[in-house]
């Protein structure tokens, strides 16, 4: 099967050169071009893309924003970053953002082609199967506690979908624009599929929270219903997990739990406490809010070039968190900002 | 002078850039949305820099925006932005810009920018 690779760069000459230079690999992959992130979002929606190769600095929607979009909407599609402004910090940010490769300009087109093919090979490194019953096969994945990404194509409709398994647990699914349980119902309703297995799973969060058996049964029920009455699909709304927070739980414990749950060991948590030692900093920074008209100060990340970095949360008293400087700081800030 | 900061200012959501020397004195400022009275009221950047200690890099999140601070060879770069601005792009542009900023004391502040 010939895969499609999406190249995103605002430099048209660069795109043209890539297209021409990669022509000899047309038996392996075809080239789709986009001139910025916004253009790429449209191309992702309307094409079956296997890999994205993107520049960072672009107008309208930059490479980091595109990377975040792909990770959120198409976690199965790997992204390779190409940049003319390569620094170790940029490389770290790209890897933290989920990029699988990072190439500095200038580069040899053969080197890029090698990396593309290596990445594409991974898509089916666990094998490809034709004419398989999806339900039976996927239950096998659960039983064998496999960690993998499975790409499926329905024989009848020719629609495609992706399932993400970690240790036999179905974490997420994607079918067209649908994600999570809704997408899983669609995929599990396919009777005969062609599938390829990738022996890794980039998806981290569990968006399904269910065993396979109930999903398969529900998918069958929905399919039967749809066949009986096409106007009433009756797909249940995805039930969002409600987190019950112990009223007695301290704020420090809550923050600790939040970081452990969403960032895990990578958060590099060294210490967390509440006292007035950072009050002066909080007060000085809070003065910037009215100056720039950006509201109340919430979170600060301070890098003094020391063995640990400091995160301070505005409050009374302020909360101070010491973290390893190699922690994924943007992810931590995002988690804290979303929750607090 | 503004030309040096045009890439940062062009990032969606970036509101402005302020360049301070090591003593916290404003060397350059381009914050179109900053009201004059606010600008006059807040002149004590030195206090902020002193309070933060020998800071190398800082990222401050507010309800409706963000302020990114970065130490340069001869001072500090402060960038204010709206919440949706790409902090990664801001950092990337700082990485590109900062090596270009050189401070020649004999020529004074006017000689600060040199490509």
Strand-by-strand arrangement of the B75-82 sheet? A269-275, A318-323, A309-313, A297-303, B57-62, B65-72, B75-82, B14-21, B26-30
Least Cα separation, residue A240 to chain B (angstroms): 25
Chain A partners of B38 at a C-beta cutoff of 8 Å? 290-291, 293
pLDDT band at A15 (very low <50, low <70, confident <90, very high): very high
> Does A88 reach chain B within 8 Å, measured CB to CB?
no
Rounded to an integer, what distance in angstroms lies between the CA atom of residue A39 and that of residue A58? 11
Angle between helices A329-339 and A88-97 (to 10 degrees): 50
- For residues A31 and B28, the model is more confident at A31
The chain-wide mean pLDDT, for chain A, equals: 84
Rounded to an integer, what distance in angstroms lies between the CA atom of residue A11 and that of residue A1? 29
- From the list A89, A97, A285, the residue facing B60 with the nearest CB is A285
pLDDT at A245 over 70: no
Beta strand A51-55 pairing with A79-83: parallel
Chain B partners of A301 at a C-beta cutoff of 8 Å? 58-60
Which DSSP string corresponds to A58-108? Answer: -SSS-HHHHHHHHHHH-TTS-EEEEESS--HHHHHHHHHHT-SEEEESS--
Element (H, E) at A181: helix A180-188
Chain B partners of A90 at a C-beta cutoff of 8 Å? 91-92, 95
Q: Is the ipTM of this structure higher than 0.85?
A: yes
Residues A273-320 have pLDDT tens digits of: 888 788 889 999 998 888 888 999 999 999 998 888 999 999 888 899
pLDDT at residue A277, rounded to an integer: 81
Q: Which of A153, A24, A22 is nearest to A32 (CA)?
A: A22
DSSP state of A172: E
pLDDT at A220 over 80: yes
Rounded to an integer, what distance in angstroms lies between the CA atom of residue A8 and that of residue A18? 11
- From the list A83, A287, A303, the residue facing B58 with the nearest CB is A303
3-class SS of residue A206: coil
pLDDT at residue B114, rounded to an integer: 44
Rounded to an integer, what distance in angstroms lies between the CA atom of residue B99 and that of residue A8? 27
Best of A68, A280, A286, A294 to disrupt the B interface (most B CBs within 10 Å) is: A294
Q: Answer whether B67's CB lies under 8 Å from A293's CB.
A: no
Which DSSP string corresponds to A100-124? Answer: SEEEESS--HHHHHHHHHHHHHHTT
Would you state the torsion angle of the CA atoms of residues A314, A317, A318, A322, taken in this order, to the nearest 10 degrees?
-160
Q: Do B86 and A284 touch (CB under 8 A)?
A: no
User: What is the Cβ-side half-sphere exposure of residue B86, based on CA atoms within 13 angstroms?
Assistant: 29
Element (H, E) at A133: strand A128-133
Q: Answer whether B90's CB lies under 8 Å from B11's CB.
A: yes
Q: Do A287 and B48 touch (CB under 8 A)?
A: yes
pTM above 0.80, yes or no: no
Least Cα separation, residue A59 to chain B (angstroms): 8
pLDDT at A28 over 60: yes
Q: Do B16 and A292 touch (CB under 8 A)?
A: yes
Least Cα separation, residue B110 to chain A (angstroms): 26
Chain B partners of A298 at a C-beta cutoff of 8 Å? 61-63
Q: Which of A53-57, A136-140, B27-31 has the lowest mean pLDDT?
A: A136-140
**What backbone torsions phi and psi does residue B2 show, to the nearest 5 degrees?**
-65, -25
In chain A, whose CA is at the least distance from the CA of B42?
A291
Q: Do B86 and A62 touch (CB under 8 A)?
A: yes
Q: Answer whether A39's CB lies under 8 Å from A8's CB.
A: yes
Rounded to an integer, what distance in angstroms lies between the CA atom of residue A75 and that of residue A67? 10
Task: Say how many residues make up chain A.
Answer: 340
pLDDT at residue A203, rounded to an integer: 78
Q: Do A57 and B92 touch (CB under 8 A)?
A: yes
Least Cα separation, residue B25 to chain A (angstroms): 16
Chain B partners of A284 at a C-beta cutoff of 8 Å? 47-48, 51-52
pLDDT at A243 over 80: no
DSSP state of A144: T
Q: What per-residue string of b and e applies to A58-85 under the rule 16 or more CB within 10 Å gives b?
A: beebbbbbbbbbbbeebbbbbbbbbbee
Residues B61-92 have pLDDT tens digits of: 999 999 999 998 889 999 999 999 988 889 88
- From the list B48, B65, B86, the residue facing A65 with the nearest CB is B86
Which DSSP string corresponds to B37-94? Answer: HHHHH---HHHHHHHH-S-SEEEEEETTEEEEEEEETTEEEEEEEETTS-HHHHHHHH
Token code pair at residue A36: 């910025």
């Amino acid at each position: 099967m010939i895969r499609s690779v999406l190249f995103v760069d605002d430099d048209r000459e660069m795109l043209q050169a890539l297209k021409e230079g990669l022509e000899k690999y047309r038996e392996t992959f075809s080239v789709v071009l986009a001139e910025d992130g916004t253009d790429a979002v449209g191309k992702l929606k309307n094409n079956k893309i296997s890999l994205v190769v993107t520049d960072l600095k672009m107008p309208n929607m930059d490479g980091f924003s595109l990377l975040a979009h792909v990770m959120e909407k198409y976690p199965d599609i790997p992204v390779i970053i190409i940049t003319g402004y390569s620094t170790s910090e940029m490389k770290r940010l790209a890897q933290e953002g989920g990029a699988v490769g990072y190439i500095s300009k200038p580069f040899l087109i053969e080197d890029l082609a090698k990396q593309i093919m290596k990445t594409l090979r991974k898509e089916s490194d666990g094998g490809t199967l034709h004419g398989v019953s999806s339900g039976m096969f996927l239950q096998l994945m659960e039983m064998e506690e496999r960690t993998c990404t499975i790409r499926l194509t329905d024989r009848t409709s020719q629609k495609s979908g992706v399932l993400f398994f970690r240790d036999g647990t179905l974490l997420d699914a994607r079918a067209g624009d649908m994600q999570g349980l809704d997408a899983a119902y669609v995929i599990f309703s396919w009777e005969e599929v062609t599938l390829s297995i990738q022996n890794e799973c980039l998806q981290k969060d569990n968006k399904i929270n269910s065993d396979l058996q109930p999903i398969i049964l529900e998918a069958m029920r929905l399919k039967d219903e749809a066949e009986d009455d096409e106007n009433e699909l009756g797909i249940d709304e995805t039930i969002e997990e409600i987190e019950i927070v112990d009223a007695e739980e301290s704020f420090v414990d809550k923050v600790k739990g939040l970081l452990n749950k969403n960032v895990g060991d990578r958060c590099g948590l060294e210490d967390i406490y509440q006292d007035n030692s950072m009050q002066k900093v909080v007060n000085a920074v809070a003065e910037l809010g009215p100056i720039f008209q950006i509201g109340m100060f919430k979170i600060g990340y301070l890098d003094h070039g020391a063995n640990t970095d400091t995160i301070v949360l505005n409050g009374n008293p302020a909360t101070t968190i010491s973290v390893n400087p190699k922690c994924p700081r943007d992810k931590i800030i995002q988690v804290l900002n979303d929750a607090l | 002078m503004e030309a040096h900061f045009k890439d940062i200012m062009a990032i969606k959501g970036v509101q402005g850039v302020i360049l301070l020397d090591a003593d916290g004195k404003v060397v350059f400022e381009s914050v179109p949305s900053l009201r004059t009275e606010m600008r006059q009221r807040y002149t004590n950047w030195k206090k902020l820099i002193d309070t933060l200690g020998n800071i190398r890099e800082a990222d401050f999140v507010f309800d409706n925006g963000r302020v990114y601070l970065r130490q340069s060879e001869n001072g500090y770069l402060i960038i204010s932005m709206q919440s949706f601005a790409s902090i990664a792009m801001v950092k990337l542009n700082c990485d590109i810009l900062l090596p270009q900023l050189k401070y020649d004391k004999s020529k004074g502040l006017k000689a600060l920018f040199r490509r």
